[in-house]
Amino acid sequence: MPSGPISQANPLWNLDIPKIPYDTTRARRLLAAQGWSDSDGDGILDRDGQPLAFELIVPNSSPSRRQAAIIMEEQLRRIGVEMHIRELEPVSHTQRSQRGLFDATFFGWAQDPKPLGSISGTWGSEGANNFGRYGNPLFDSLLAATSRGTDAEQIRQTWMEALRVIQSDWPAIWMLAPFQVSAVHTRLENVFVRPDQNWGATIWQWRVRPDQMLPRDRIGIR
Amino acid sequence: MTRFLVRRILHSVAIVFIVATITFLLVHIAPGDPATAQFRDRPVSPEIVAQYRRDWGLDRPLYQQYLSYLSNIARGNLGQSFSLNRPVSEVVLQALPNTVFLAVAALGISFAVGIVIGTAQGATPNSRFDHTLTAATLAVFSMPIFWFGLMMMLVFGQWLGWFPVSGATSPVYSALPFLGRVADRLHHLVLPALTLGLGGSAVVARFHRAEIAEAFAQDFIRTARAKGLSERDVVLRHALRNALLPAITMLGLSLPVLFSGAVLVEHVFAWHGMGLAAFDAVARRDYNVVTAIALFGAIMVVIGNVVADLAYRRVDPRTRAS
């Protein structure tokens, strides 16, 4: 799990920030402290006659998110929380997320390679793509200081502080920052996979080694 | 005849206009727009999104967009694809031959197989053979076409390895000699055409069985038998010829079903035709491509129906007087 809203491609990526552990006993205790209990014995917590239930919208084009949503549904059921998964066509999912029409949305961002360039847009108070409407002036100012800085170590320290702030607020759970693993046959040379692009972006530059060519590779070669 | 033709052509133009309007409205009321689809998972600034909408005229009121759309298609201008940044005419003309190729092959299979099965059943009504074929055709007809396609891929592509399961040509197609290209195309055509064609053949067979059974109850069949003709001649020369007339109407009616089925079959077999292009265009909210494909589909269907009507008038003298 990533430690915040940042991908491995970014030099500021680190996993040193402590994360909330998976602890169902503590989760149940925290919910009980807020007045949630299973008063009718149906396995779902409730308070003032209201069951603890919400809907998660997921784009039906993303197998990894659909599968992760099913695991989340099961894990939440264990602590008495009912999560309904609603799969939506991708553009509808984006539009509903943009308009804030969700209880919870499972969203994925493709971050640009510019350091922290898009984070103010997605998590800053004034961010146009801040779908969860998160707002913390301290986080905004730390992010701004990070963007202005020139000293690498100072930028890292400020960013770590910003991470601690957003983590204490937990406006979202950053589920995955997947590693893209590409296996390439040794017959090929000049293979380069860009970290910010699909593996096939440079395929036009790949070549089969001349001494490794099969008859099918020679079709059309004069 | 000329009056009939003019009336049918005017009807066809009205149908195409209605289809163009409904498609335009449907794609525009779908959630999101080309900008939402374009920047779906990229957190770009609102200024860039606004600029994109301005550049493509998406910020104008819907009625203005509709009027310029009508004015453009009236002049034969289908516009530019939002997602591919190419003229829509290029996108459609690239996909059209593949769809026509697949649809014609599927149509041929569905009528050839359907008529043979329907004739065999109609000639032996209520026999064990008839019941077995009824069960088989109903089973094929009931199968979702995408699932049937996947099963065809599994059996003939994966297990037996006889046919390719994806695409309309091989990667080395352009380097093949002429006959090699023809063979390559036909090899790739087999599974998608069978998937689309066999589904349709079940309908043709059910319909044709009833026609043959009805023909068998007619006086001219009794006369043919009384003349001492063999059963084979009775079936092929008398019952079949008469029962084929309604099949011409069915041919025209099959076209819309074929095109809608082609969307799924092209997607399953990654067949680069109009169905796959439409599927991708809908996902990207590429309004111009979606409306152009619907327009072309409508034009092809109305042409198919006019041709079927003309063919029917030609083979059935009773319809010429009306």
Cβ contact, residue pair B285, A94, below 8 Å: no
CA A100 to chain B, closest CA, distance in angstroms equals 14
Q: Name the most confidently modeled range: A9-18, A66-75, B197-206, B226-235.
A: A66-75
Alpha carbon distance A100, A119 (integer Å): 18
DSSP letters for A50-93: EE-EEEEEEETT-HHHHHHHHHHHHHHHHTT-EEEEEEE-HHHH
Task: Give B134-176 pLDDT, tens digit per residue.
Answer: 999 888 888 898 899 999 999 999 899 999 998 888 888 888 8
A 10 A CB-CB count for B129 gives: 13
Task: Give B275-290 pLDDT, tens digit per residue.
Answer: 889 988 998 999 999 9
Return the pLDDT at A121: 87
Return the pLDDT at B112: 92
Q: Which of B37, B41, B176 sits opposite A108 (nearest CB)?
A: B41
| Dihedral in degrees, nearest 10, Cα atoms B283, B284, B285, B289 | -100
Return the pLDDT at A6: 82
* Contact residues, chain B, for A122 at CB < 8 Å: 43
CA distances in angstroms from B143 to B116, B153, B279, listed in the order given: 21, 15, 21
Kindly state the average pLDDT of the residues B35-48: 86
- Are the CB atoms for A86 and A58 separated by under 8 Å? yes
Looking at the DSSP assignment, which residues form a beta bridge with residue A207? A189
Cβ contact, residue pair A111, B37, below 8 Å: no
Return the pLDDT at B176: 85
Task: Give A160-189 pLDDT, tens digit per residue.
Answer: 899 889 988 989 988 888 777 888 999 999
CA B42 to chain A, closest CA, distance in angstroms equals 5
* Contact residues, chain B, for A112 at CB < 8 Å: 42-43
Alpha carbon distance B145, B153 (integer Å): 12
* Contact residues, chain B, for A118 at CB < 8 Å: 43
Kindly state the average pLDDT of the residues B222-240: 84
A 10 A CB-CB count for A128 gives: 17
- Are the CB atoms for A93 and A62 separated by under 8 Å? no
Task: Give the HSE-up count for residue A29: Cα atoms under 13 Å, Cβ half-sphere.
Answer: 4
Per the prediction, chain B carries an average pLDDT of 87
CA A154 to chain B, closest CA, distance in angstroms equals 26
Question: Taking the domains of chain A in order of start, what are their residue ranges?
Answer: 1-14+27-108, 188-213
Chains A and B: how many Cβ contacts under 8 Å?
Answer: 55
CATH 3.10.105.10 assigned to A1-14+27-108: yes
Cβ contact, residue pair B31, A92, below 8 Å: yes
Furthest C-alpha separation in chain A = 80
Per the listing, tokens 């701004």 go with A144
Kindly state the average pLDDT of the residues B237-260: 76
Return the pLDDT at A33: 96
CA B63 to chain A, closest CA, distance in angstroms equals 23
A 10 A CB-CB count for A15 gives: 11
Cβ contact, residue pair A108, B31, below 8 Å: no
Q: Phi and psi (nearest 5°) for B136?
A: -65, -45
Alpha carbon distance B169, B189 (integer Å): 9
Kindly state the average pLDDT of the residues B41-67: 90
Most A CBs within 10 A among B39, B41, B174, hence the mutation to make, goes to B41
Query: Position B126: which residue type?
Result: N
Look at residue A74 and tell me whether its pLDDT is greater than 60.
yes
Look at residue B220 and tell me whether its pLDDT is greater than 80.
yes
Token pair belonging to B118:
């329907």
Token pair belonging to A92:
């509808």
- Are the CB atoms for B123 and B132 separated by under 8 Å? no
Return the pLDDT at B59: 92
Cβ contact, residue pair A121, B40, below 8 Å: no
Alpha carbon distance B192, B153 (integer Å): 9
Q: How many residues does chain B have?
A: 322
* Contact residues, chain B, for A111 at CB < 8 Å: 43
Task: Give percent above pLDDT 90 in chain B.
Answer: 35
Alpha carbon distance B260, B250 (integer Å): 16
CA B318 to chain A, closest CA, distance in angstroms equals 51
SS3 A57: strand
**Least confident interval from A137-141, A211-215, B312-316:** B312-316
Q: Where are the alpha helices (DSSP H) in B30-87?
A: 34-38, 46-55, 62-74
Q: Which of B40, B44, B45 sits opposite A90 (nearest CB)?
A: B40
Look at residue B62 and tell me whether its pLDDT is greater than 90.
yes
Looking at the DSSP assignment, which residues form a beta bridge with residue A88? A59
SS3 content of chain A, % helix, strand, coil (to 5): 40, 10, 50
A 10 A CB-CB count for A147 gives: 16
Return the pLDDT at B8: 84
CA B175 to chain A, closest CA, distance in angstroms equals 5
Query: Position A43: which residue type?
Result: G
Task: Give B302-318 pLDDT, tens digit per residue.
Answer: 888 888 888 777 777 66
Alpha carbon distance B102, B159 (integer Å): 24
Look at residue A1 and tell me whether its pLDDT is greater than 80.
no
Q: Which residue of B has its CA nearest to A112?
A: B42
Return the pLDDT at B141: 86
SS3 content of chain B, % helix, strand, coil (to 5): 80, 0, 20
* Contact residues, chain B, for A128 at CB < 8 Å: 43, 45-46
Task: Give percent above pLDDT 70 in chain A.
Answer: 95
Alpha carbon distance A199, B216 (integer Å): 64
Alpha carbon distance B299, B274 (integer Å): 13
B136 CA to centre of own chain: 23
A47 CA to centre of own chain: 31
* Contact residues, chain A, for B46 at CB < 8 Å: 128
Task: Give A91-131 pLDDT, tens digit per residue.
Answer: 999 999 999 999 999 998 877 766 566 788 899 998 888 99
Alpha carbon distance B64, B132 (integer Å): 58
Interface list for chain B against chain A, based on CB atoms closer than 8 Å? 30-32, 36-37, 40-46, 172, 174-176, 283, 285
Alpha carbon distance A204, B58 (integer Å): 34
Cβ contact, residue pair A109, B43, below 8 Å: yes
Query: Position A110: which residue type?
Result: A
Return the pLDDT at B319: 67
Return the pLDDT at A147: 80
Indicate the pLDDT class of residue B189, thresholds 50, 70 and 90: very high
* pTM of this structure: 0.76
Alpha carbon distance A146, A157 (integer Å): 9
Token pair belonging to B138:
């109903």
Return the pLDDT at A115: 58
Cβ contact, residue pair A89, B46, below 8 Å: no
Counting Cβ atoms within 10 Å, is residue A162 exposed (0-12), middle (13-18) or buried (19+)? buried
Look at residue A207 and tell me whether its pLDDT is greater than 70.
yes
Indicate the pLDDT class of residue B321, thresholds 50, 70 and 90: low
Alpha carbon distance A8, A198 (integer Å): 15
Indicate the pLDDT class of residue B221, thresholds 50, 70 and 90: confident
Return the pLDDT at B4: 80
Q: Do the bridges between strand A53-59 and strand A188-189 make them parallel or antiparallel, or are there none, so unpaired?
A: unpaired
Q: Which of B31, B42, B174 sits opposite A91 (nearest CB)?
A: B31
Here the contacts of A30-37 (C-beta below 8 Å, separation 24 or greater) are: A31/A79, A31/A80, A31/A81, A36/A80
Cβ contact, residue pair B43, A121, below 8 Å: yes
Alpha carbon distance B191, B189 (integer Å): 6
Return the pLDDT at A116: 67
Token pair belonging to B57:
């005229």
- Are the CB atoms for B222 and B62 separated by under 8 Å? no
* Contact residues, chain A, for B175 at CB < 8 Å: 219-220
